[in-house]
A and B are shown apart, each in its own frame.
Chain A
């Protein structure tokens, strides 16, 4: 059971508001809670503006959360006061960004980009050790050690994303937040990068928070998926279950919109429309475990409906409740 595994990250009632108290207050993340277990990949999906990227940035403490707690490896992140504690936290969590063109400094050589974390955290004994570490990292991500003295513009998009991954790995992190790491890449290269990430996960026992809008790829790489909409998580569950038997109407609509590379399927596509007004009534909603490990944001009077859906989908038997 997943519950017996160690939680590496616990996000509890996270709220991230911008322009608080002003007319244009934005509730980018509004009461979001989820856990990530060590060694798993948690996929966070949603449309633009759903708050998925903000959630990732709040976790790594690029923003000061408005409310809520983030517990990483048993420690409350907002209570890391000393510089040393923050330093250690930032070593253990690393980030991979969407745009491989914008996230690498064009004036720095690849070896200095990759070694920046090594330098900051003092992880190299001397210059020779630094060079050795960089070359090993480049090899790990499928690049060549000769690449270390080149500049980012000499690389293709897929190669740049590999450099970004090498940079993240340089400080031996335990947890990586990957924010749309493959959306800017070509289909054939996407598969290369995803395969590389999966391979590294096993080798280095990494935990991933994989943020993306491409549901088919998220389903493929993730163990569990959380679906975000308007700053709230609406559904969390095992990846296959959420994808094949979505319980929340929004998840259904999102999945029905994913284009499938099969003309026959596409000719018979039935898109499910989503009525978002339901989310905006003033009912009190919380995450309810409808099937084992499968949560849906529901009000008290909706629980029966979701449970029935789960029974119809064969996720639970009537007697288990």
Chain B
């Protein structure tokens, strides 16, 4: 590993899907790190590649996917090179996953106690009795009321929020080093969502898991993430600390995302929608893939892929606007407002140091 603090290092990942229409270039040269104990949020629209990226970490890609290039280092070993049998030892034990839909990710014919105990029996070699006892502890931990009575219930006897708690219990019962949460609260009501997010933060502190959090809800990202990576058309276009992405964004796509959300003080009038739709990845555009939808696109954006430009030690963005020769542009008003706030936070003794730690 390049950095001992990293749990996972993804380098130059390229994934294609073979379809009848041709090769869909779903992931195009993606690199990122996951540090110990942090929450890294990956945001982007459907089709941006956020779910494919994380599925590759689990070795769960669809049969028509092909990893063209790159490496995923975990404990000094490349996950891509592992056999399915080896992956079965990693999956659920070292790297666990929570999916969006709590209705379909549980086995409807199996009592929930057994579903939580199963990974313990499989990965840790526990006897059924011990495993079920630990499952009970886990049920308490995720806040199921009256767990002794409910451990033998079936999934249909629980509400959506309670089912997602059970899914989290299954994912965390082996104390995995990495938890991948793919839109874990999208199907839930806001009040239940808030409870589940609090639960995830609380459990993360207790068992020191690193979380990759995939979502398109920027509100959720603001509350959960330490660092954020923004994906567009199979590439990461910007990454930084949560404050850097929300208060000092540099890529026009990040601007567009932040701009299209109504905030607490958005007055009426038109929402600033991003025009158009994402490009077809059968034939990805040369240059900056967002150029066709961007008000800030320059000639070079359609010709050459922008490299990552450094904004700070922790903040990088792939946009030609950061090139020293690029003309100075004024971002949308909402972004200027956010950047002003950032400048204030940067002043000495501002509470900015806050982001570095979890507490």
- Assess the A190–B223 pair: CB atoms within 8 A: no
B108 at the interface (CB under 8 A from A): no
When the two chains form their complex, are residues B191 and A195 in contact, meaning their CB atoms are under 8 A apart?
Answer: no
Binds B, one of A92-100, A213-221, A306-314: A213-221
Q: Which of chain B's residues has its CB closest to A239's CB?
A: B268
Distance (whole angstroms) from the CB of B151 to the closest CB of chain A? 25
Q: Does A68 have its Cβ within 8 Å of any Cβ on chain B?
A: no
Name A163-219 residues within 8 Å CB distance of B.
Answer: 186-192, 194-195, 198, 213-217, 219
Residue A304 at the chain B interface, CB threshold 8 Å: no
Question: Interface-forming stretch among B54-62, B79-87, B252-260?
Answer: B252-260
In the complex, the chain B residue whose C-beta lies closest to that of A50 is B189
* Inter-subunit contact A187/B189 (CB<8 Å): no
Residue of A nearest to B293 (CB): A188
A187 engages B261 (CB within 8 Å): yes
Residue B45 at the chain A interface, CB threshold 8 Å: yes
The answer to whether A259 has its CB under 8 Å from any CB of chain B is: yes
The count of chain A contact residues (Cβ–Cβ below 8 Å) is 39
Q: Which residues of B contact A274 (CB under 8 A)?
A: 191
In the docked arrangement, what's the CA distance between A194 and B268, Å?
12
Bits for B119-141, please: 1 = Cβ < 8 Å to A, else 0.
00000000000000000000000
Distance A219 CA – B271 CA, assembled complex (angstroms): 12
Contact flag A215-B190 (CB < 8 Å), given A187-B261, A195-B271, A262-B263: yes
> Could you tell me if B271 and A261 are in contact, using CB atoms closer than 8 angstroms?
no
Q: Distance in Å from the Cβ of A173 to the closest Cβ of chain B?
A: 23
The answer to whether B243 touches A263, judged by C-beta atoms less than 8 angstroms apart, is yes
Q: How far is the CB of A246 from the nearest CB of chain B, in Å?
A: 13
Q: Mark B210-250, 1 if CB is under 8 A from A, else 0.
A: 00000011111111010000000000000000110011000
Q: Is A271 an interface residue (CB 8 A)?
A: yes
Which of A259, A263, A269 has the largest number of chain B CB atoms within 10 A? A263
* Nearest neighbor of B271 in chain A, beta-carbon distance: A191
Distance (Å) between the CB of B156 and the closest chain A CB? 15
> Are A267 and B217 CB-contacts (below 8 A) given A187-B257, A219-B262, A261-B263?
no
Q: B224 to nearest A CB, angstroms? A: 8
- Judged by a CB distance under 8 angstroms, whether B103 is at the interface is no
The answer to whether B190 and A213 touch across the interface, beta carbons within 8 angstroms, is yes
B300 to chain A: closest CB distance in Å?
24
Q: Which residues of chain A in 255-302 are interfacial with respect to chain B, using CB atoms and an 8 Å cutoff? A: 257-267, 269, 271, 274
A257 proximity list for chain B (CB < 8 A): 190-191, 193-194
Determine whether A156 belongs to the interface, using a CB cutoff of 8 Å to chain B.
Answer: yes
In the complex, are the beta carbons of B219 and A259 less than 8 A apart? Answer: yes
Closest A residue, CB atoms, query B197? A259
Check: B273 CB closer than 8 A to any chain A CB: yes
A318 at the interface (CB under 8 A from B): no
- When C-beta atoms are compared, the residue in chain A nearest to B341 turns out to be A264
Q: Which residue of A lies closest to B226 (CB)?
A: A263
- CB-nearest residue of chain B to A262: B222
The residue that A269 contacts in the complex, of B45, B217, B223, B257, with Cβ under 8 A, is B223
Residues of A within 8 A of B326 (CB): none
Taking the complex as formed, is B266 at the interface, i.e. its CB lies under 8 A from any CB of chain A?
A: yes
Q: Is B312 interfacial (CB-CB < 8 Å)?
A: no
Interface string of A13-57 (1 = CB under 8 A from B): 000000000000000000000000000000000011000000000
Contact with B along A213-234 (1 / 0, CB 8 A): 1111101100000000000000
Question: Are A254 and B191 in contact, CB atoms less than 8 angstroms apart?
Answer: yes
- Taking CB as reference atom, which chain B residue is nearest A213? B189
Do residues B219 and A188 form an inter-chain contact, with CB atoms below 8 A?
no
B160 CB–A CB distance under 8 Å:
yes
Instruction: Specify which chain B residues have a CB less than 8 angstroms from the CB of A73 in the assembled complex.
Output: none
Contact of A192 (CB < 8 Å), options: B222, B264, B273: B273
B109 contacts the other chain (CB 8 A):
no
A200 to chain B, nearest CB (A): 13
Nearest-Cβ distance from residue A240 to partner chain B, whole angstroms: 9
B219 and A156 contact, CB distance less than 8 A: no
Contact check, B271 vs A220: say whether CB atoms are below 8 A apart.
yes
A190 to B257, CA, bound (A): 11
- A58 CB contacts on chain B under 8 angstroms: none
Contact present for A263 and B222 (CB under 8 Å): yes
Q: Is A253 an interface residue (CB 8 A)?
A: yes
Contact flag A158-B258 (CB < 8 Å), given A47-B190, A263-B355:
no
Please state if A216 and B263 are interface contacts (CB–CB under 8 Å). Answer: yes
- Rounded to whole Å, the gap between the CB of B180 and the closest CB of chain A is 20
Chain B hits for A215, CB < 8 A:
190
**A261 with B190, Cβ < 8 A, contacts A187-B218, A191-B273 known:** no
The complex places the Cα of A175 from the Cα of B288 at a distance, in Å, of: 43
| Smallest CB-CB A-B distances: 7 pairs | A259-B219, A191-B273, A266-B223, A188-B274, A261-B218, A47-B189, A191-B260
Q: Can you list 22 residue pairs at the A/B interface with Cβ under 8 Å?
A: A47-B191, A159-B277, A187-B218, A187-B260, A188-B274, A191-B271, A192-B275, A214-B190, A216-B219, A219-B262, A258-B190, A259-B190, A259-B217, A259-B219, A260-B264, A261-B218, A261-B221, A262-B246, A263-B246, A263-B355, A264-B341, A264-B345
10 more A-B contacts (CB under 8 A) besides A187-B216, A263-B223, A263-B355? A47-B189, A188-B260, A191-B261, A198-B270, A220-B271, A259-B217, A260-B219, A261-B221, A263-B243, A265-B264
